[in-house]
Amino acid sequence: MEEQINVFLDSNNSESGDAKRFEFQCNPPIQVGNDEICDVYVANFSCLNNIWNIDDSNNVFSVSHGSAQKNLVISSGYFSGADISSKLNKLFSAENLHLSCMWLESQLKFTIQSTHDDSLTYRVYETNLSNLMKLEGRIYTHDEIATSYVQPDLNEGSHSILFSIPEITTNSRVSNSSVPRSTLCKIPLTASYGNYILYQPQTLVSKHLVKEKVINNFTIKLHLDNYTEHFPSRFHAQLVFTIKKKPLNQQAMNALENAIRNNLPSRPASEQPFGNPCHFKI
């Protein structure tokens, strides 16, 4: 027989009262007997997509054109290719740099070129923003156009949200040490900025074996693809815990392990009701 426990979460009801720490209490606690196993999965999740693609990690663009190197910093936020080129052009003008940036919508690439009728070279330096724009950091002739060498992914650090519970040890397998081993699911960001992310899998859900016997409370952790922690203004989620009896052969194996662990006193085989406990046959 299987028992199913549904846990409905609202980040506004977090026990911590901290917008950056999502702690929840199980009342009553979830208890798993010695002869039982427990699985957990995320049935649904929703939150507003307020994830920026430009922040302090990728907002610096360095360039020189007939003068010393200029470090240009654009503001943080969510920006399209056209937005980024517009912001850079305003900074070029403010620094009296005769350069122009364009976003080619049809090609999904950036270009930088000189707008001054002279023979001055210009240089694009390798920085976090030029790397995002896929512009080669080098010196360009006055009539040369710097163009993205591949189509840049402006959302490269935020394709999905990793949902994890550090207090629960599961059988999750990960290929990167930065990904929490307690990750329960990966939520694709299919909603554009400013719209609601809704995760509600219609196919078979991946369940994770829970090793704890009693769960009193837990913390929800959300990470982006670049492994930075994410703090949405609010989220809702539903966790499903299923508790069921272990298979008989698993129960017998546990009984054997417990007998050995308890180091039962040795008795002659003739006095053992089932023979030597170290020679049980399953």
pLDDT of 266 higher than 70:
no
pLDDT-derived band at 2, boundaries 50, 70, 90: confident
From residue 228, give the alpha-carbon distance in Å to each of 56, 157, 162, 231. 12, 9, 10, 10
Give the whole-angstrom CA distance, residue 81 versus residue 69: 24
Q: What confidence tens digit (pLDDT) does each residue in 190-217 have?
A: 899 999 999 998 876 777 888 888 988 8
Q: What confidence tens digit (pLDDT) does each residue in 159-188 have?
A: 999 999 888 766 656 556 566 677 888 999
Q: Regarding predicted confidence, which is higher, 1 or 88?
A: 88
Given a contact cutoff of 8 angstroms between Cβ atoms, the answer to whether 215 and 72 are in contact is: no
Give the whole-angstrom CA distance, residue 242 versus residue 3: 6
Instruction: Output phi, psi for 8, to 5 deg.
Output: -100, 125
Averaged pLDDT score across all residues of the chain: 86
CATH fold of 2-51+158-244 = Jelly Rolls (2.60.120)
Q: Residue 270 has what pLDDT?
A: 52
CA angle 126, 91, 142 (to 5 degrees): 60
pLDDT of 281 higher than 50:
no
Q: What confidence tens digit (pLDDT) does each residue in 39-57 have?
A: 899 999 999 999 999 999 9
Q: What confidence tens digit (pLDDT) does each residue in 215-238 have?
A: 888 999 999 988 889 999 999 999
Q: What confidence tens digit (pLDDT) does each residue in 141-150 have?
A: 989 999 999 9
Q: Where are the domains of the chain?
A: 2-51+158-244, 60-147, 248-279
**The token pair that represents 121 in the structure block:** 């070279």
Predicted structure pTM score:
0.76
Q: Residue 24 has what pLDDT?
A: 93
Nearest one of 222, 120, 211, 219 to 171, comparing CA atoms: 211
Q: Residue 253 has what pLDDT?
A: 66
